[in-house]
Structure 1
Amino acid sequence: MHLYIHIPFCESKCYYCSFTSLKKKNYEDSYFNALKKDLDFQLNFFNIKKKSIKTVFIGGGTPSIIQAKYYEEIFKILEPFLAKNSENTCEANPNSTSLEWLKEMKNFGLNRISFGAQSFHPEKLKFLGRIHSQDMIFKVLENANKANFKNINLDLIYDTKMDNKKMLEFELFNLKKIKPLITHLSAYNLSIEPKTIFAKKESFKKNAPYLMNFFIKNIKKLGFFQYEISNFAKNKTYICKHNLAYWQGKAYIGCGLSAIGFLKNQRFYTIKNLKDYIANPTFRDIEKLNPQDLNLEYLFLGLRSCVGLNEKKLDNTTKEKAFFLTKKRKLIYKNGIFYNTNYLLSDEIALYLS
């Protein structure tokens, strides 16, 4: 089993962000009390056995703006259920993560940290609505290493209207400088989402495949290998096990405001309003997925990652199409699995196969 915990609080709203995030307004105590009730209930509801949770991911929002003491009780609840060598990740921002916070979190059981840098360039940071500087990125990575984190991710965003070859070369130059300090990189091409400050501003996204290919190619040249459309690791040891579980269709629990869980053919949605969640944290809205939904999701997730498509899970028509694409060198067939050769074409191929 896998577990996602959502911390909805942020210092400010990034212009591209579609995740649930709110100002703290002194809700920490009531939110974490509700979160503990939610966790206890879900661990019982899913009948979670001791030592069976393989990954934990604390996302946001900005988990690093919450004092470490609030997480101590969360890890105490989880401790009996965490598998040996479980991957325990928390997101953090460069401007709100102190060395002391990192040390405390590591002491509680955190062993992977993910920093939302998004860019090294001051103008691009401003464009995206980020409130940290390049120096803060370098400093927080140094502090994570001082706190003895061995697994460190950095997030970047590209394909914005500000991105051209010169801008991406600037990002790559700085990425090369901090490469010894990280083990993993997530490089997301900008998506324009509803209910964000960037909503309906389609011109803010560049939509330049040649620049996407240029950026990915040069990230690989730096020594990272791509194992999903947006994710790169220094070696297989540092593949994000939590995200891999999503792409493999594994079951996971979602706790916290606006969190989502998944089991077999059902999705479980928590409440999206903060006060309502605090009042009733164990409520779930349940969505039942039909076989067509599950199959389409299987195609999309498998083709955009190293998971691939198992021929045993494909009907005859889909399998014939997949073999046709191997002849066109769009897919590779190996040991009963079809693998995508270009993740940027994953959605297009998935729609063709469906």
Structure 2
Amino acid sequence: MHFYIHIPFCESKCHYCAFTSLKKENYEKSYFKALSRDINFHLKKFKIHHNQIKTLFIGGGTPSCIHTSNYEYIFEILHPYLAKNAEISCEANPNSATLNWLKAMKNIGVNRISFGAQSFHSEKLKFLGRIHDQKMIFKALENSHKAGFTNINLDLIYDTKMDDKKMLEFELLNLKKIKPLITHLSAYNLTIESKTAFAKKEHFKKNAPNLMKFFIQEIIQLGFFQYEISNFSKNKNSMCKHNLSYWKGKDYIGCGLSAVGFHKNQRFYTAKNLKSYIENPTFRNIEKLSPQDLNLEHLFLGLRSIVGIEEKKLSLAQKQKADLLVKEKKLEFKKGKYHNHNFLISDELALYF
């Protein structure tokens, strides 16, 4: 089993962000009290045994803007259920992840930290609505090592209207500088989402496939292994096991405001309103997925990652199409799975099926 916890609080709202995030105000104590109820309830509901949780991911929002004392009780609840070698990730922002905060989170049990840097360029950071600068990114990475973290991710965003070859070369130059300090990189193509500051501003996205290809190739040239369309690791040991569990269609529990969970053929959604969640944190909207839904997700996720698509899960017509793509050298068939080695065409391949 895998576990996701959502922390909805932020210092400020980024212009591109579609995740549920709110200003802290005075809701932390009541939120974490509700979150504790939520976690306890679902551990019992899904009959989770000791040492059964393989990965835990604390996302947001901005988990690093919350005092570590709020996480201590959460970890007291979860600790018996975590596998001995569990990957325990937490997102953080460079401006709020202080050395003391990082040390405290490491002591609690977090062993993987993920920084939302998004860019090294001051003007691009302003455009994205970020409130840190390049110096803060470097400092946060240094402090992570001082705190004892050896598994560190950095997020970048590209394909914005500000991105041209010169901008991406600037990002790559700085990425080369901090390469010894990180084990993983997530490089996300900007998506214009509704209900964000960027909504209906389609021109804020560049839509430049050649630049996308250039950026990915240069990241690989720096020594990173691309194992999903937006994710790169220094080696196979530093791949994000939690994200891999999503792409493999594994079961996971989601707790916290706007969190999502998945079990067998059902997806579970928590309340999206903070007061509603605090009042009734165990409530879930349930979506039943049809075999066709599950098949489509398996295709889409498998084609955009090294997970691949399983031959036994394909219909006869889909298998015939897959075999044709193997003949055309667009897919590789190996050990009962079809693998795509060009993630840039994953959407087109999924539509073909």
Shorter-chain TM-score bucket reads over 0.9
Which residue is 2:305 aligned to?
A: 305
Letter in 2 for 1:8: P
In structure 1, the partner of 2:2 is: 2
Give the deviation of 1:326 after TM superposition.
1.3
Question: 2:61 corresponds to which residue?
Answer: 61
Compute the displacement of 1:347 (Å): 1.0
* Structure 1, unaligned runs of 5 or more: none
SS at match of 1:18: coil
Matches within 5 A, 1:41-56: 41-56=41-56
Task: Render the CA deviation track for 1:78-106: whole Å, top value 9, x for unaligned.
Answer: 00000011000000000111000000000
1:34 aligns with 2:34: yes
Distance 2:176 2:235 in 1: 16
2:234 match = 234
In the superposition, the TM-score normalised over structure 2's length comes to 0.99
Structure 1 ranges of 4+ moved more than 4 A: none
Matches within 5 A, 1:93-108: 93-108=93-108
Match of 1:296 in 2: 296
| % identical aligned pairs | 73
Instruction: Please give the residue correspondences for 1:76-95 in structure 2 after superposition, counting only pairs within 5 Å.
Output: 76-95=76-95
Q: Aligned to 1:211, what secondary structure does the other structure show? A: helix
Deviation of the 1:332 alpha carbon: 1.1
Specify the SS of the correspondent of 1:329: coil
Residues in 2 aligned to 1:165 and 1:138: alpha-carbon distance in whole angstroms: 23
Q: For the residues of structure 1 that align with 2:349 and 2:252, how far apart are their CA atoms?
A: 27
1:220 aligns with 2:220: yes
Q: Which residue of 2 aligns with 1:327?
A: 327
Q: Which secondary structure state, in structure 2, belongs to the residue aligned with residue 94 of structure 1? A: coil
The answer to whether the 8 A contact 1:329-1:341 is kept is no
Q: What corresponds to 2:246 in structure 1? A: 246
Mapped partners of 2:205, 2:322: distance in 1: 31
Q: Distance in 2 between matches of 1:23 and 1:293?
A: 36
SS at match of 1:175: helix
Q: Which residue of 2 aligns with 1:268?
A: 268
Distance across 2 between alignment mates of 1:214 and 1:183? 21
- Which digits, 9 at most, give the CA deviation of each residue in 1:205-264, with x for residues without a partner? 111110000000000011000000000000000000000000000000000000000000
Shift of 1:334: 1.3
Letter in 2 for 1:128: L
Measured in 2, the distance between the counterparts of 1:330 and 1:42 equals 42
- Cα distance between partner residues in 1 of 2:320 and 2:347: 18
* RMSD of aligned residue pairs (Cα, Å): 0.5
Q: 1:335 deviation in Å?
A: 1.7
Match of 2:268, SS state, is strand
Deviations 1:57-114 (A, max 9, x none): 0000000000011101111100000001100000000011100000000000000000
Moved more, 163-172 or 327-336: 327-336
CA displacement, residues 163-210 of structure 1 (integer Å, 9 cap, x when unaligned): 000000000000000000000000000000111110111111111110
> 1:278-289 counterparts in 2 under 5 A?
278-289=278-289
Distance in 1 between residues matched to 2:97 and 2:264, nearest whole Å: 37
Deviation by residue 1:19-58 (Cα, 9 ceiling, x = unmatched) = 0000011110000000000000000001001100000000
Distance 1:14 1:328 in 2: 43
Letter in 1 for 2:106: K
Using the TM superposition, give the Cα deviation of residue 328 of structure 1 relative to its aligned residue in structure 2, in angstroms. 1.7
Task: Decide whether the 8 Å contact of 1:300 with 1:346 is kept in 2.
Answer: yes
Residue 95 of structure 1 aligns to a residue whose secondary structure is: coil
Paired amino acid for 2:276: D
Q: Distance between the aligned counterparts of 2:160 and 2:319, measured in 1?
A: 37
CA distance in 2, matches of 1:222, 1:118: 18
Q: Counterpart amino acid of 1:189?
A: N
- The residue aligned with 2:209 is 209
The alpha carbon displacement at 1:157 in A equals 0.3
- Counterpart position of 2:119: 119
CA distance in 2, matches of 1:229, 1:37: 36
Letter matched to residue 121 of structure 2: H
One-letter identity of the residue aligned with 2:101: W
Q: Structure 2 stretches of 5 or more lacking a match?
A: none
